[in-house]
């Protein structure tokens, strides 16, 4: 099988809002139309059927995005690598695709995710830097990723059969063994890629550095609150920033009113209401130690010690003036926090730790992964961690995070006699 060069790769599906606005028609997509014309016979009809399938899931942006990614990658593989259309697809194509997912060619992979389309001269055209995969998504293909691809394709083909486009699903006779990740690659080479995290020492330095910085200059109070909140509550940057629902165009602004109390088992607890991926709401219990940081941040803002029900003040205000800061501003504050810790590590002679901290200063997801990993290692039930992370299943969480047994194995391995 000969892989095709990068210029023969093209995104297939726009955002749900753009597809709906254009009624799943190609008239406003000249570059996509040209690409489909270069694909095997039947590709345009395949695209139309797949676009209609995706629109069925447009009510949830998260679900739509997951299906779009999986179906898009598969169709590109089928057309470009196998030279087939959906109507000629068989189980061997599925088997080949599962092998392909475990090690896609480098020109299928971008260093960072990029938007697929842009508006140019009134029409939608592809972005040249877009690729079907991005590097952190393929470095160590985990079982959960292959499972997600299998589930998405199973639903897709079942729908194509139900709608009369296909006579049968090629998934039925595909080999299950091809849908398994390589344990050697997963565990031995890329285990830390699945949930990259700070070491305990690095996290200690980050926290101590921010506390010291905030004591010297209160402009660092926001840095401290954001970092502690993201790590302790396993948050993504987007979950602390305003979010716009691309289907309704409504914008959600995080406020202090998202901190609420609830009585469970006769005891009153604090939790945070979070709007996550796919506009899914979850409630994350606050650790008792977190309340000290919440009260500190509110005291700096001249607010009562704890939030009141329905409080509408922004969760994280702009430095000067009112209003909630956005995602990019939060990312910049986290980066500044990491660089402060890196500088302190360097001053204390810990050059290797400082060098690593500088390298990962823009990787905000380390906080979410560090919080979850540390709690699992401390004995918190993985089901509870999974729910607070917003994962769809415990199995998915287990596939990503290093277990306590792995930690014990490395500790006992370190102490062996030579």
**CA-to-CA distance for 224 and 238, rounded, in angstroms?**
17
Q: What phi, psi does 84 have (nearest 5°)? A: -125, 165
**CA-to-CA distance for 223 and 206, rounded, in angstroms?**
11
Give the residue from 67, 15, 10, 7 showing the smallest Cα distance to 33: 10
DSSP notation for 246-258 = TTT--EE--BGGG
DSSP notation for 263-299 = EETTEEEEEEEEE-GGG-EEEEEPPTTHHHHHHHHHH
Beta strands in 21-156 (DSSP E): 109-110, 117-120, 123-126, 133-134
Average pLDDT over residues 161-172: 85
**CA-to-CA distance for 76 and 270, rounded, in angstroms?**
47
Locate 102 and state its tokens.
């475990």
Locate 348 and state its tokens.
């204390």
Put residue 345 in one of left, alpha, beta given phi > 0 → left and psi -120 to 50 → alpha.
alpha
pLDDT band at 246 (very low <50, low <70, confident <90, very high): low
Residue 418 has what pLDDT? 74
Give the residue from 200, 185, 189, 89 showing the smallest Cα distance to 146: 185
Locate 416 and state its tokens.
């062996």
Residue entry with tokens 């109070």: 221
**Residues 353-387 as b or e (16 or more Cβ within 10 Å = b):** bbebbeebbebbbbbbbbbbbbbbbeeeebeebbb
pLDDT band at 317 (very low <50, low <70, confident <90, very high): very high
Q: Assign 28 to helix, strand or coil.
A: coil
Q: What global pTM score does this model have? A: 0.57
Q: Break the chain into its structural domains and give their ranges.
A: 6-191, 200-414
pLDDT band at 415 (very low <50, low <70, confident <90, very high): low
C-alpha 53 chain-centroid distance: 23
**Listed ranges 94-98, 156-160, 270-274, 391-395; the one with the highest mean pLDDT:** 270-274
Locate 279 and state its tokens.
């506009």
C-alpha 30 chain-centroid distance: 30
DSSP secondary structure code for residue 406 in this structure = H
Q: What phi, psi does 281 have (nearest 5°)? A: -95, 135
Locate 232 and state its tokens.
């302790």
- CATH T-level assignment (fold) for domain 200-414: hpI Integrase; Chain A (1.10.443)
Q: What's the farthest any 2 CA atoms get from each other in the chain?
A: 70
DSSP secondary structure code for residue 243 in this structure = E
Residue 177 has what pLDDT? 47
Q: Assign 123 to helix, strand or coil.
A: strand
Average pLDDT over residues 322-336: 92
Specify whether the CB–CB gap between 186 and 138 falls below 8 A.
no
pLDDT band at 215 (very low <50, low <70, confident <90, very high): very high
Express as a percent the part of the chain with pLDDT over 90: 45
What sections of 286-362 are H helices per DSSP? 290-300, 327-347, 351-359
The predicted-structure confidence for 273-291, as pLDDT tens digits, reads as follows 999 877 789 999 999 999 9
Express as a percent the part of the chain with pLDDT over 70: 86
Residue 32 has what pLDDT? 93
Residue entry with tokens 């991005």: 134
The predicted-structure confidence for 350-403, as pLDDT tens digits, reads as follows 888 888 888 888 889 899 999 999 998 888 888 899 999 998 778 778 767 754
116 burial class (0-12, 13-18, 19+ CB within 10 angstroms)? Answer: buried
């Amino acid at each position: 099988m000969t892989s095709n060069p990068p210029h023969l790769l093209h995104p297939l599906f726009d955002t749900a809002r753009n597809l709906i606005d254009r009624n799943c028609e190609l008239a406003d997509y000249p570059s996509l139309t040209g690409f489909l014309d270069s694909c095997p016979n039947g590709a345009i009809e395949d695209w139309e059927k797949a676009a209609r399938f995706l629109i069925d899931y447009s009510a949830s942006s998260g679900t739509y995005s997951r299906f779009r990614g999986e179906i898009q990658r598969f169709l590109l593989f089928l057309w470009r690598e196998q030279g087939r259309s959906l109507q000629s697809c068989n189980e061997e194509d599925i088997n080949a695709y599962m092998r392909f997912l475990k090690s896609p060619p480098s020109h299928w992979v971008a260093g960072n995710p990029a938007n697929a389309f842009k508006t140019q001269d009134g029409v939608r055209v592809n972005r040249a830097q877009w690729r079907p995969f991005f590097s952190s998504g393929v470095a160590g293909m985990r079982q959960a990723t292959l499972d997600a691809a299998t589930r998405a394709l199973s639903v897709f083909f079942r729908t194509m059969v139900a709608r009369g486009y296909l006579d049968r699903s090629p998934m039925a006779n595909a080999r299950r063994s091809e849908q398994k990740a390589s344990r050697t690659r997963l565990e031995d080479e890329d285990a830390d890629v699945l949930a990259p995290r700070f070491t305990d020492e690095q996290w200690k330095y980050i926290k101590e550095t921010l506390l010291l910085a905030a004591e010297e200059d209160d402009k660092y109070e926001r840095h401290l609150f954001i970092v502690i909140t993201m790590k302790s509550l396993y948050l993504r940057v987007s979950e602390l920033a305003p979010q716009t629902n691309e289907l309704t165009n409504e914008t959600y602004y995080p406020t202090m009113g998202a901190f609420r109390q609830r009585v469970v088992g006769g005891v009153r607890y604090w939790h945070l209401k979070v709007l996550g991926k796919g506009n899914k709401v979850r409630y994350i219990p606050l650790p008792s130690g977190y309340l000290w940081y919440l009260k500190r941040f509110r005291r700096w803002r001249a607010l009562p010690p704890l939030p009141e029900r329905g409080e509408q003040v922004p969760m994280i205000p702009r430095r000067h003036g009112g209003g909630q800061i956005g995602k990019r501003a939060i990312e910049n504050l986290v980066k500044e926090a990491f660089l402060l810790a890196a500088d302190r590590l360097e001053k204390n002679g810990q050059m290797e730790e400082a060098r690593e901290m500088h390298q990962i200063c823009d990787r905000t997801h380390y906080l979410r992964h560090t919080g979850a990993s540390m709690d699992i290692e401390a004995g918190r039930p993985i089901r509870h961690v999974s729910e607070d992370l917003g994962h769809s299943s415990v199995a998915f969480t287990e596939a990503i995070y290093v277990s306590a047994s792995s930690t014990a194995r490395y500790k006992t391995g370190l102490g062996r006699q030579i």
